[in-house]
Structure formats: C-alpha cells, structure tokens
C-alpha cells in the first residue's frame, strides 16, 4: 500500500506540537520531594557552626534596634574548627571577645553582662535560616511550588514547613542553588504582618557552604540589618588569633552539650505565665534576662536586660528566676553556663 505524503500544513502542525511539548516539559515544576532535598542541603550549607564547615573569616557590619535604642557595629568570626574559633563583637561603646579552645571558652567584655544585642546577633548570624521564638520546629517539607523566568534566569520558589503561623519561602536558581529566603506571617494566620519578617538575599558560595550577604530581620520591638563585607577561606590563622584575651572569664565548654530539660523547666512555665498575662491584661510583654545557670539547673545570677512594657518584668518572680532551667552536660559532667532568656512573642492582629 502506497504511503500518502503529508501536506506541508500537517507537518507544520506536528512540529509545532512537538516544540510545545518540549517547552512545557522544560518549564514543568520539579518534584516536591526533590525540592525538599534542595531546602535541606541549603539549611545545612548556611550553618556557620556546622561540624564540617571549613576554616573561614567573616566580617559584617550590623545595624541593631531594640525599642528606642539603635546601635551600629561590627561582628567578626574567625573560625578554624567547632572547638577553635574567635568572635569579636563591637556595638557602639560596648564590646566582647570570645575565644573557644577545645573544652574552654574565654570571654572578656566591657559590660558586666552580655547585652541583648550580643546574644541575639550570635544566635541569628550563626544559623539565620532557622526561625526562632516563633513556635515552630524545623520542617523542610515543601507544600507549594512556583516559578518565574525562563532558562538561565529561571527561579523555583518553595513554600516550606507545616507551621500555621509563618510562611517560609526558599527560592532557587536554575542550578538548584539558594538565592533568597523570605519569612512572613501567613495571610490568614492570627499574627499581624508587622510582627515578623526575615529576608536573606545576595547568597554567595564558599566551597561547600552558601551564605547570604544581606540579612534583615524584624521581630516585635527588634530589628537587625546585617551586611557581610568579607567571607573568605583561611588556610592557616596566625597563632595569636587564638590566644585567650587578658583578664578573661573562663568557662568549661563543649560544642554540643547534652541538654537535660526538667519537666517543669522555667523557660516553658514562664512562657505560659506571660502568655496568660497578655490575655488577661490585653498587652503584649517582651523581656530579656541574663542568667548564669549552675550545674544543678538553678540560676546563680539573674540580671534584667530589657522589658517592654517595664511592668512586664514583674511577672518574672524571684522563685521563677531561680529555676529549674535546662542542665548542660559536657563530657559526662554538668557545667555552668551563661544564658539570655528572651520572651519574644509574635504580635497578634487587632480584632
């Protein structure tokens, strides 16, 4: 049987359908499970204190606001290994130097205790991708995907986590590299859109790590803006870098202490008490308290650092100040440690 040749019109139609099919395939969204792996890898790569991180030097400029106080300064990290590093924090007229060597931490500061900004900056910079004080646990499962652009400029954005309060968005480039991170309260949550925001952009890679050069966070009475000016590998640090500063306070230390939390730990009890106080009085309290926690989990020293309104600190009674608090165990032995307890709740929408 003779084959009937196709007309030019039919051949054009087939070619058009093939090209459209390829274009649709090229622009299809990846599998959510695959993108969950991207998120998981990105979180690990941005953890400056991870066990397998390389030796590096990071220098950042910081603008910090808490209530009506505004500070500018620098934050420097000289990192050899998890048990050998140095931090230099300078904020206006306050400063602190921390040197960690094996099982000891040497601290010298020109203030009687660490300030709120010292504690908050360290927690934020070392692992900014983990939401804190937001009532969430880390969850890297993807529940929604979207894309913008085409080809080399295409970005895949994923909404991540199972939290009903905050929305965590990770955006990746055509090579599956993280390019931005944004957190906002969910549109239909009970939390005000002004209560919390987190923006991390201008990501750069340093061997196996990837970190943002622009970080911005708003949380209640606090805002943090960070510009990373230098982040580079270091083959070998000068020996003087890890010499303990003169007149240091020395603490027994380990990089990953075993944390034993009593069932009635005050950090849990206090959050419930303060939340109930807000419900009863129609106001939202914020507070930060510095403590030295003994080997038995009881507070040996307590210093009020910040309270808004000032009356909120009255909820923090003398009995609650003492403990019990979590016990830190290093190499099988409990150790004393410094802690800044913060109650930083998310501001609810006005009814």
Per-residue pLDDT of the chain (351 residues; tens, 9 = 90+): 454 555 555 555 544 444 444 444 446 899 999 999 999 999 999 999 886 778 999 999 999 999 899 999 999 999 999 999 999 999 999 999 999 999 999 999 999 999 999 989 998 998 776 554 334 345 668 989 999 988 888 999 999 876 678 889 999 999 999 999 999 988 877 777 778 899 999 999 999 999 999 999 999 889 999 999 999 999 999 999 999 999 999 999 999 999 998 876 655 555 555 555 554 455 667 889 999 999 999 999 999 999 887 776 776 666 677 778 899 999 999 999 999 988 887 766 654
Burial of 118 (0-12, 13-18, 19+ CB in 10 A): buried
Whether the CB-CB separation of 263 and 269 falls below 8 Å is answered with no
pTM for this predicted structure: 0.84
Query: How do 299-308 and 286-293 pair as beta strands?
Result: antiparallel
CA distances to 83, 204, 260, 297, 331 from 335, rounded to whole Å, are: 16, 37, 12, 9, 10
How is the chain split into domains, by residue range?
37-252, 258-343
* CATH class as words, domain 37-252: mainly beta
**Is the domain 258-343 a CATH 3.40.50 member?**
no
């Amino acid at each position: 049987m003779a084959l009937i040749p196709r007309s030019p019109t039919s051949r054009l139609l087939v070619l058009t359908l093939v090209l459209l099919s390829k274009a649709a395939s090229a622009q299809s969204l990846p599998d959510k499970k695959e993108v969950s792996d991207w998120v998981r890898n990105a979180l690990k790569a941005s953890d400056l204190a991870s066990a397998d991180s390389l030796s590096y030097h990071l220098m950042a400029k910081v603008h910090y606001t808490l209530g009506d106080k505004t500070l500018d300064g620098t934050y420097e990290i000289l990192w050899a290994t998890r048990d050998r590093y140095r931090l230099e924090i300078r904020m206006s007229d306050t400063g602190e130097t921390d040197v960690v060597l094996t099982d000891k931490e040497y601290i010298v500061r020109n203030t009687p205790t660490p300030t709120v900004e010292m504690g908050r900056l360290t927690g934020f910079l070392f692992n900014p991708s983990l939401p804190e004080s937001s009532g969430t646990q880390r969850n890297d499962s993807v529940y929604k995907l979207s894309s913008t652009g085409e080809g080399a400029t295409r970005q895949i954005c994923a909404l991540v986590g199972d939290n009903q309060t905050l929305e965590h968005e990770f955006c990746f480039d055509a090579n599956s590299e993280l390019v931005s991170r944004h957190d906002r309260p969910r549109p239909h949550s009970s939390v005000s859109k002004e209560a919390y925001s987190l923006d991390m952009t201008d990501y750069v890679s340093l061997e196996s790590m990837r970190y943002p050069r622009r970080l911005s966070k708003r949380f209640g009475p606090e805002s943090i803006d960070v510009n990373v000016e230098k982040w580079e590998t270091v083959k070998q640090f000068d020996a003087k870098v890890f010499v303990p500063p003169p007149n240091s306070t020395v603490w027994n230390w380990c990089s990953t202490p075993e944390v034993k939390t009593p069932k009635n730990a005050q950090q849990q009890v206090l959050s419930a008490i303060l939340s109930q106080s807000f419900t009863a009085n129609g106001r939202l309290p914020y507070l930060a308290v510095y403590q030295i926690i003994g080997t038995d989990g009881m507070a040996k020293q307590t210093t009020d650092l910040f309270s808004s309104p000032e009356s909120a600190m009255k909820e923090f009674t003398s009995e609650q100040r003492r403990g019990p608090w979590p016990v830190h165990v290093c190499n099988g032995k409990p150790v004393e440690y410094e802690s800044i307890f913060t109650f930083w709740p998310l501001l609810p929408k006005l009814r």
